[in-house]
Amino acid sequence: MATAHPASATLPVPESTPGRLPPRRAGWTLPQPYFNDPGIYRLDIERIWKRGWLFAGHLCEIPRTGDYFLVELDTESVIVIRGEGDTVHALHNVCRHRGSVICTEPCGHATRLVCPYHQWAYDLDGRLVAWRGMQPDLDKADFALWPVAVREVEGLIFLCLAPEPPPFEAAAACLGPLARPQGFGRAKVAKAVDYLVKANWKVVWENNRECYHCNVNHPQYIQANFDHYNADDTPSRVREAMASVVARSEARWSAEGLATTHTDTGMTVFPDAARGIWFSANRTALVDGWVSESMDGRQVAPLMGDYRDPDVGTLRMRTLPNFWNHSSCDHGVSTRLLPLGPQQTAIRVWWLVAEHAVEGRDYDLTKVMPFWQLTSEQDWEICERQQKGINTSAYHPGPYSAFKEYNVEGFVRWYLEMLEKVGMRKAEG
């Protein structure tokens, strides 16, 4: 999908001043300031959130030319809009006249983007097309909306606020083939729920990257999955059960590229801090008898995408710093994080189904939603409790489990490397 934009200039982004980061002991949690210090939060925004590729939303949310939604990060506001001829544009939501925001609703439809202040009007690709009362020696071509880099892969839209975005090709090559059969481009949003979680965004990721907490906190999730077993505690009966599901998947689906790719208990290794890998995707087995991450494991909506049979395990994707997705044969669940401050994270969870599925006839939200609604809300509560404890004078870093929190250590390493990338002094002791 083309993303051409008329403005050749890129918006300059100010550099923040490097400083000394509190040291961390390898294999231990981060010191308190990483979770509540406004200065470190600013560094997070400048060095990670304004540099990396952010998941914005789904192509199926803007099916018609002129449909748009906003992505608001820190003080930034970006319009993601469907343009002419199947294009998607991302534009800073800031008028080139005196700086008013242009779109004021979180989503909508526009034939032109008209500033509410003095009605400068922009085309869907950001070109300025009308400005009443301006002198003739000025050229409209110099006043297009500032563009934001945007990429779409299999119905998932990503944007990057950096003037020179990091490469996206490897991420597209990783996510694309696994996401394709799910048919996100032919999906519809059955429901989206917004949460304001009172925790630093890293607390939320650290929680996502381990299943040490699952046995007690996620009674629904552990019925369907093998993630919560690790090298130290996988009973032989579980190992055999998993091997049999994996072998069945291999026999049925290898020819179609739908066989499970994550074949061990425990969570897949992500991120890969040593190689700077911020994206990953895999297909994971569900416990025998489960074909969907629903409350009873049964199919709860029509098959999505290219699937012809429900027994395809789950597709899982994640990209740092703000996206993960679990998709079953019949519905997909996307989660997007956007930090709102050192101790606040805006989280949106979407439930997607096949585009022609009709609520009440083909699916029922009370069956599609609870598995991930419960699991998500259980996690948000955990995160808020942890943030509260971290804020006290009694918080001191604690050690990670090498068996169960290998990905949390990986996440922290990735995070520190991103922070230190531009002239920062090493934070790791």
Where does this chain bind Fe ion (CB under 5 A)? Answer: 379
CA 383 to chain centre: 17
Nearest residue to Fe ion by CB is 379
In terms of Cβ atoms closer than 10 Å to its own Cβ (0-12, 13-18, 19+), residue 65 is middle
Nearer to ligand FES, 92 or 318 (CB): 92
Nearer to Fe ion, 171 or 222 (CB): 222
Find which of Fe ion, ligand FES, none residue 97 binds, CB within 5 to 8 Å per kind. Answer: ligand FES
**According to the binding rule CB under 6 A, does residue 122 interact with ligand FES?**
no
Which residue, 287, 282, 284, is CA-closest to 237? 287
DSSP string covering 120-146? -EE-TTS-EEE-TT--TTS-GGGGPPP
**According to the binding rule CB under 6 A, does residue 115 interact with ligand FES?**
yes
Beta strand pairing status for 314-319 and 323-327? antiparallel
Which residue's entry shows tokens 């997007």? Answer: 336
Find which of ligand FES, Fe ion, none residue 234 binds, CB within 5 to 8 Å per kind. Answer: none
CB 186: neighbour CB atoms within 10 A? 15
Find which of ligand FES, Fe ion, none residue 115 binds, CB within 5 to 8 Å per kind. Answer: ligand FES
**According to the binding rule CB under 6 A, does residue 273 interact with ligand FES?**
no
Nearer to ligand FES, 30 or 94 (CB): 94
**According to the binding rule CB under 6 A, does residue 112 interact with ligand FES?**
no
Find which of Fe ion, ligand FES, none residue 100 binds, CB within 5 to 8 Å per kind. Answer: ligand FES
Nearer to ligand FES, 54 or 95 (CB): 95
Which residue, 158, 206, 144, 156, is CA-closest to 184? 156
State the DSSP H helix or E strand holding residue 314, giving kind and residue range, or none if neither.
strand 314-319
**According to the binding rule CB under 6 A, does residue 95 interact with ligand FES?**
yes
Nearer to ligand FES, 113 or 214 (CB): 113
What would the x/- binding string for ligand FES be over residues 352 to 371, using CB under 6 A?
Answer: --------------------
Find which of ligand FES, Fe ion, none residue 379 binds, CB within 5 to 8 Å per kind. Answer: Fe ion
Which residues in 342-397 belong to E strands, given as ranges?
344-354
**According to the binding rule CB under 6 A, does residue 97 interact with ligand FES?**
yes
Torsion over CA: 275, 387, 392, 50 (sign): positive
Residues 339 and 41: their CA atoms lie apart, in Å, by 9
Residues found near ligand FES in the complex (CB under 6 A) = 95, 97-98, 100, 115, 117-118, 120
